[in-house]
C-alpha cells in the first residue's frame, strides 16, 4: 500500500513540477483517450443494423414488417426512404427468406393461387386475368433503372362468337421516373414493343405512356412509319439543311488539304422531295394457262333432232361433227384462265428523296488555270454525286479573298498574341512577388526563432555560471596547496585560481562577464 502511495505521490510531484501548458496538454490527451474508450465500448456493445430492402412499396413494406414482428426479429424503418433495417448477422438469411414476398406493389399471376378457381364465372376470370396482366407488366417496367414506380391500365375487348374481327386492346402507362433521369426515344420504343407483345391484339399505336411531368412520351413516336406524309415544313427545312451541310463538309474535306485551311468556301443547294407517293403495279402473264373451259352448243342433225349439250375442252372434236352433220343454231364458250401469273408490286417512295443538287465553290487562289478549275469541278461533282447530265450545275471560281479582311484578321491575331504574352508576364511577375513574400516571411521567422533561441542560451549560461561559482570554493579547498614558502591569504589564493580558470577557459569567462553586464543594464 505504501508503494502505491509513494507512486501516486511521485506522479503528483512530477505533474506539479510541469508547466501550465504541459498540464493542459496532458489533461486534454487523457480526456480524448477516455472518450475514445467509452465510444468503443458503446459501439461494440450496440447491435449493428443493415438495410434489408430499400425503396419498398407501402404494401410490401407492411408485409415485411408484419412477418418480422411475427418472428420476433428486431428491425428499424426509415420512413424517408422506405428502408427496413435488421441486425447485420441476419440480413443474408432474411433476404432469401422474404425475396418472394416483394411484389413491388403489384399483384401478378399469383392472384390465381390465392383462391380456388372452381365455380368462378367467365367475367370474374377475365377481371382477375386483366389485373394479373397489369401487375406483371408493372413489375417488368419497374425493373428498369430509370423507373421508380409505374401504373398500368389495360382495356381488353370482349370476345364474341358472332364477331370475327374484335376491336383492338389499348394500354395506358404512367411512369414515375427517378430524379435526374430521362427516357430516350429508343427506350420508350422498347417499352412499347414489350407491352405490345405482352397483350393480345394490342397495336403499338394504342399504347400511351405518360411520365410524372405530364409529358406524353409516345407522342409522334412512330411518325416515321405511319405519319410520314405529315412531315412539317420545319422538319423538311431541317433535313434539307443537314443534307446540304453534309455535302459542304465533304467538299471542304477534299479541297482544303490542297489549298489550305480556310481558303475554300463551298455552298450546296439541294432539292428534296417530301411528297408521299404510293405506286401499285400489276403484271399479268401474256399467255396464262387455262384452268377450265365450258362450251354450250344448240344444233339439229339430219333427222331434225335438236339438242343442248355442254361440251368440255377435251370434246372439241364433237363441234366439228355437229358442223358436218347438222346445223348449229347457237354456241357459247366460257374459258377460265389461271391468275397465278399475275404479279402485284406496291412501292412507297422514301420521303426526302434528292431530286436535284447544285454546288458553288470559291477558292482563295487567283492563279489557278482553267484546266485546274475544270479538275476541281470534276472532283466536286464526284464528291456530291452529281448526275452526268447536271454537271454544269456546279460552279468553281478562283479569286483572291478580301485582302483588307486578311490584314484585319492578321492584326487581330497579333493583338491576341500580344495580350496573351502580357497576361503571361503578369502571371510571372505575380508568382515572383509571391515567392519573394514567402522568402521574406521565412527569413523573418528564422530571425525570430534565432532570437528566442539566443535568449534561451543566455538563461542556460546564467545557470551554468551559478553552478560554477557554487562549485569553485569546494574545488579550491580540495586543490589548495601552498606553492611557495611565503604564506598567502585566502583572498590571494582565490584570485590566483580565478586567473588560472580564465586562462584555461577564456570563452566561458567572457560569457559570464557579458551576462553580468547585461544584468547590470537591466
pLDDT by position in tens, the chain (length 522): 577 777 777 777 777 777 777 778 778 888 888 888 888 777 766 677 787 777 666 777 777 788 888 888 888 887 766 788 888 777 788 877 777 666 665 666 666 666 666 667 878 888 888 888 888 888 888 888 888 888 899 988 877 666 556 788 899 999 988 888 888 888 999 999 999 988 888 888 899 999 988 888 888 777 654 444 445 677 888 888 999 999 999 999 989 888 888 888 999 998 888 777 777 777 766 777 777 777 776 665 545 444 444 444 444 555 555 555 555 566 677 777 766 666 667 776 667 778 888 999 998 888 888 898 899 999 998 888 887 778 888 889 888 777 776 677 777 788 888 888 888 888 888 888 888 888 887 778 778 777 777 766 666 666 655 555 555 544 444 455 555 545 556 667 777 777 777 777 777 777 777 777 766 555
Q: Return d(Cα 346, Cα 314) in angstroms, integer.
A: 39
The whole model's pTM is what? 0.36
| SS3 assignment, position 157 | coil
Give buried/exposed letters for 171-201 (b at 16+ CB in 10 A, else e): bebebebeeeeebeeeebbebbeebbeebee
Angle formed by the axes of helices 506-521 and 403-479, nearest 10°: 100
For residues 277 and 349, the answer to whether their CB atoms sit within 8 Å is yes
Domain spanning 238-277+348-401, CATH architecture: 2-Layer Sandwich (3.30)
Cell 410524372, residue?
Answer: 212
For residues 70 and 60, the answer to whether their CB atoms sit within 8 Å is no
Question: What is the CATH class of 49-99?
Answer: alpha beta
Beta-carbon contacts of residue 516 (< 8 Å; ≥ 6 apart): none
Beta-carbon contacts of residue 496 (< 8 Å; ≥ 6 apart): 488
Written as nine digits, the cell of 172 is: 395506358
Question: What is the CATH class of 109-159+166-226?
Answer: alpha beta
Amino acid at each position: 500500500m505504501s508503494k502505491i502511495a509513494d507512486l501516486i505521490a511521485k506522479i503528483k510531484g512530477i505533474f506539479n513540477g510541469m508547466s501550465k501548458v504541459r498540464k493542459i496538454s496532458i489533461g486534454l490527451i487523457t480526456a480524448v483517450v477516455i472518450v475514445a474508450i467509452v465510444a468503443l465500448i458503446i459501439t461494440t456493445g450496440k447491435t449493428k443494423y443493415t438495410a434489408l430492402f430499400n425503396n419498398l412499396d407501402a404494401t410490401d413494406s407492411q408485409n415485411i414488417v408484419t412477418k418480422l414482428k411475427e418472428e420476433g426479429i428486431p428491425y428499424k424503418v426509415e420512413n424517408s426512404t422506405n428502408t427496413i433495417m435488421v441486425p447485420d448477422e441476419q440480413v443474408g438469411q432474411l433476404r432469401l427468406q422474404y425475396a418472394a414476398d416483394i411484389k413491388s406493389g403489384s399483384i401478378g399471376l399469383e392472384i390465381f393461387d390465392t383462391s380456388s378457381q372452381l365455380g368462378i364465372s367467365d367475367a370474374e376470370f377475365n377481371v382477375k386475368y386483366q389485373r394479373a396482366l397489369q401487375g406483371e407488366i408493372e413489375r417488368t417496367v419497374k425493373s428498369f433503372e430509370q423507373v421508380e414506380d409505374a401504373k398500368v391500365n389495360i382495356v381488353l375487348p370482349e370476345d364474341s362468337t358472332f364477331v370475327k374481327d374484335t376491336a383492338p386492346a389499348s394500354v395506358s402507362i404512367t411512369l414515375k421516373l427517378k430524379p435526374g433521369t430521362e427516357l430516350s426515344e429508343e427506350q420508350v420504343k422498347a417499352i412499347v414493343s414489350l407491352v405490345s407483345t405482352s397483350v393480345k391484339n394490342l397495336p403499338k399505336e394504342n399504347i400511351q405512356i405518360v411520365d410524372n411531368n405530364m409529358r406524353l412520351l409516345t407522342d409522334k413516336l412512330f411518325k416515321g412509319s405511319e405519319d410520314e406524309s405529315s412531315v412539317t415544313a420545319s422538319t423538311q427545312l431541317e433535313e434539307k439543311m443537314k443534307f446540304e451541310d453534309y455535302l459542304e463538309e465533304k467538299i471542304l474535306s477534299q479541297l482544303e488539304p490542297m489549298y489550305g485551311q480556310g481558303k475554300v468556301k463551298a455552298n450546296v443547294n439541294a432539292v428534296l422531295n417530301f411528297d408521299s407517293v404510293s405506286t401499285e403495279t400489276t403484271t399479268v402473264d401474256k399467255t396464262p394457262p387455262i384452268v377450265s373451259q365450258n362450251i354450250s352448243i344448240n344444233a339439229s342433225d339430219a333427222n331434225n333432232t335438236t339438242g343442248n349439250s355442254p361440251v368440255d375442252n377435251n370434246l372439241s372434236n364433237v363441234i366439228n361433227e355437229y358442223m358436218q352433220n347438222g346445223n348449229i343454231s347457237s354456241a357459247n364458250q366460257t374459258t377460265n384462265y389461271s391468275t397465278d401469273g399475275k404479279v402485284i408490286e406496291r412501292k412507297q417512295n422514301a420521303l426526302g428523296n434528292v431530286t436535284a443538287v447544285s454546288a458553288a465553290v470559291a477558292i482563295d487562289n487567283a492563279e489557278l488555270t482553267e484546266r485546274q478549275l475544270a479538275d476541281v469541278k470534276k472532283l466536286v461533282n464526284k464528291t456530291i454525286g452529281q448526275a452526268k447530265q447536271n454537271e454544269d450545275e456546279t460552279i468553281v471560281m478562283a479569286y483572291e479573298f478580301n485582302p483588307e479582311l486578311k490584314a484585319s484578321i492578321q492584326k487581330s491575331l497579333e493583338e491576341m498574341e500580344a495580350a496573351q504574352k502580357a497576361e503571361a508576364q503578369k502571371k510571372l511577375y505575380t508568382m515572383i512577388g509571391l515567392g519573394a513574400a514567402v522568402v521574406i516571411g521565412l527569413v523573418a521567422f528564422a530571425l525570430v526563432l534565432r532570437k528566442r533561441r539566443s535568449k534561451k542560451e543566455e538563461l542556460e549560461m546564467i545557470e551554468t555560471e551559478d553552478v560554477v561559482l557554487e562549485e569553485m570554493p569546494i574545488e579550491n579547498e580540495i586543490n589548495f596547496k601552498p606553492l611557495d614558502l611565503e604564506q598567502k591569504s585566502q583572498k590571494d589564493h582565490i584570485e590566483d585560481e580565478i586567473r588560472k580558470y580564465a586562462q584555461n577557459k577564456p570563452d566561458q569567462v567572457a560569457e559570464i562577464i557579458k551576462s553580468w553586464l547585461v544584468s547590470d543594464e537591466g
